[in-house]
Amino acid sequence: MGGWGDYKHTMAMLGLQVGYAAVALVTRAAMLQGMSPRVLVVYRQAVATLAVAPAAYLSRRKSGGPSMGIRSFSLIFLASLIGIAINQNIYYEGLYLATSSTASAMANLVPAVTFVMAAIVGLEKVDIRSLRSIGKIAGTVICVTGAIFMALLRGPKLLNAQALPAKSLIGAEGEHWLLGCLFLFGSACCWSVWLILQVPASARYPDHVSLSAWMCFFGTLQSAAITLFLEPDLEAWTLHSSFELVCCLFVGIFGSGLSFFVQAWCISQRGPLFSAMFNPLCTVIVTILAAPLLHEEIYTGSLIGAVGVIGGLYVVLWGKAEDYQVLNKETDPESLNGQISTTNTSPIEEPLLSDKSTITNENNS
């Protein structure tokens, strides 16, 4: 295949990362204008539900789709609570308290944190005598070290601080940055748990479009309950400008709707490792644009930490790629059956956790 066919997946991922960067910048701009982060989560998921539901209905009507039992419902409800309601609420809180560039960099912790959690529950094998396992462990340590640099060792400030409107749950100005980084790290942990939960959830309910729609729907209800508890003032639910309305529509339709289809298509064609390789591009774009557009602070220590997180990400991905190279050699039909293999043995076309997991990476942005 030549021409566009050779580059369509790469172009799709580049466009997706540009879109994710736009989501991060637009979201923080809306919150700096006074929009409640918790209300934004509810509106985002509501819009996403409306965007995904028609496709899910058509998909289910065409294929019949699996029925939802008690265990499937429990898994989907739990995945929605951790991966959407809790995750996005603490992510937006961290995005608001820190900066969009920090939030984008922290998102690159997800593969490393997922590796640790997957190893704990037995989805990843760790052999300290293997160079691959050492690479994954080292990459995880580098990622976490970079995150600590970003949170604690910011270094000289290159831009003036910007006053935050009183929409956060945290009031002390001096605590904003550290608490924001802690929220963002917690968000990465929640997202990693969500990825782990995709293994049993996808096995129980293999209709991934319908699964996404159900999670968006449950996430909307759960986020609304959280917001009603934390935001007693109903005025917070009011959209005060057309920009806030556009923000809700954009992050809902693209951030949780269109991006799902693009991400799922790329993963089905090239695998989740191929998709994960492009994640740092979003960090670069956000860092370049956040300073002139949002007048965000830039710290030398934060930049070093971000480089560490991104570097650690690629070391972890390298370790995973090496795993799949060995797996492909062991299962090569040519060596097993004496036949010519007709499958693509690229290491970036294999699942990140297991052959039953589906990582759609509905980005936190």
Q: Is residue 101 part of a domain?
A: yes
Phi, psi (degrees; rounded to nearest 5) at 150: -65, -35
Query: Residue 181 pLDDT more than 60?
Result: yes
Q: Distance (Å, rounded) from C-alpha 158 to C-alpha 42?
A: 35
Give the DSSP per-residue string, 266-331.
Answer: HHHHH-HHHHHTTHHHHHHHHHHHHHHHH----BHHHHHHHHHHHHHHHHHHHHHHHHHHHHHHHT
Q: How many CB atoms lie within 10 A of CB 152?
A: 12
Residues of the domain holding 43: 9-333+343-349
Query: For 21-30, 84-93, 197-206, which range has the lowest pLDDT when averaged over its residues?
Result: 197-206
Whole-number Å distance between alpha carbons of 315 and 139: 5
| Res 260 pLDDT > 50 | yes
pLDDT-derived band at 195, boundaries 50, 70, 90: confident
Q: Which of 4-8, 197-201, 272-276 has the highest mean pLDDT?
A: 197-201
Domain assignment present for 338: no
What are phi and psi for residue 98, nearest 5 degrees?
-95, -125
pLDDT for res 198? 80
Q: Letter for the amino acid at 218? A: F
Write down the pLDDT at residue 286. 87
Whole-number pLDDT of residue 295: 78
- Measure the CA angle with vertex 44, ends 40 and 50; round to 5°: 150
**How confident is the model at residue 63, as a pLDDT?**
67
**C-alpha span between 57 and 52 (Å, rounded):** 9
**Range name among 6-20, 158-172, 231-245 with the lowest pLDDT average:** 158-172
Taking residues 169-179, report their average pLDDT.
Answer: 61
pLDDT digits (tens, 9 = 90+) for 296-324: 777 777 788 888 888 888 888 888 776 65
Cβ partners under 8 Å of residue 272, min gap 6: 351, 352, 359, 361
What's CA 282's distance to the chain center, in Å?
A: 11
- For residue 354, tell me if it sits in a domain: no
205 SS3 class: coil
The pLDDT of residue 187: 93
What's the mean pLDDT when you consider all of the chain? 78
**Which range among 53-62, 184-193, 321-330 shows the weakest confidence by mean pLDDT?**
321-330
Residue 27 lies in a domain: yes
Does residue 20 form part of some domain? yes
Residue 327 has a pLDDT of: 52
Cβ neighbours of residue 83 under 8 Å, at least 6 residues apart?
190, 191, 193, 194, 197, 215, 219, 362
Distance CA 52, CA 96 (A): 27
Of residues 159 and 136, more confidently modeled: 136
Q: Is residue 3 part of a domain?
A: no
Residue with tokens 């293994």: 199
Q: What is the pLDDT of residue 62?
A: 74
Q: Check residue 186 and give its pLDDT.
A: 94
The CA-to-CA distance between both ends of the chain, in Å, stands at: 34
Q: Pick the more confident residue, 201 or 153.
A: 201
8 Å CB contact between 330 and 153: no
Give pLDDT tens digits for 64-75. 666 778 888 999
**With a threshold of 0.85, does the pTM exceed it?**
no
Provide the pLDDT for residue 220.
Answer: 94
| Within-domain flag for 365 | no
Where does the chain have alpha helices with state H? 4-32, 37-63, 70-80, 87-97, 100-106, 110-121, 131-152, 176-204, 208-230, 242-250, 259-270, 272-276, 279-294, 300-330, 333-337
pLDDT, residue 151, reads: 72
Residue 215 covered by a domain: yes
Number of folded domains in the chain?
1
The stretch 32-50 carries a mean pLDDT of 91
Handedness of CA 67, 71, 74, 79 (dihedral sign): negative
> What was the pLDDT predicted at 336?
40
Average pLDDT over residues 270-295: 80
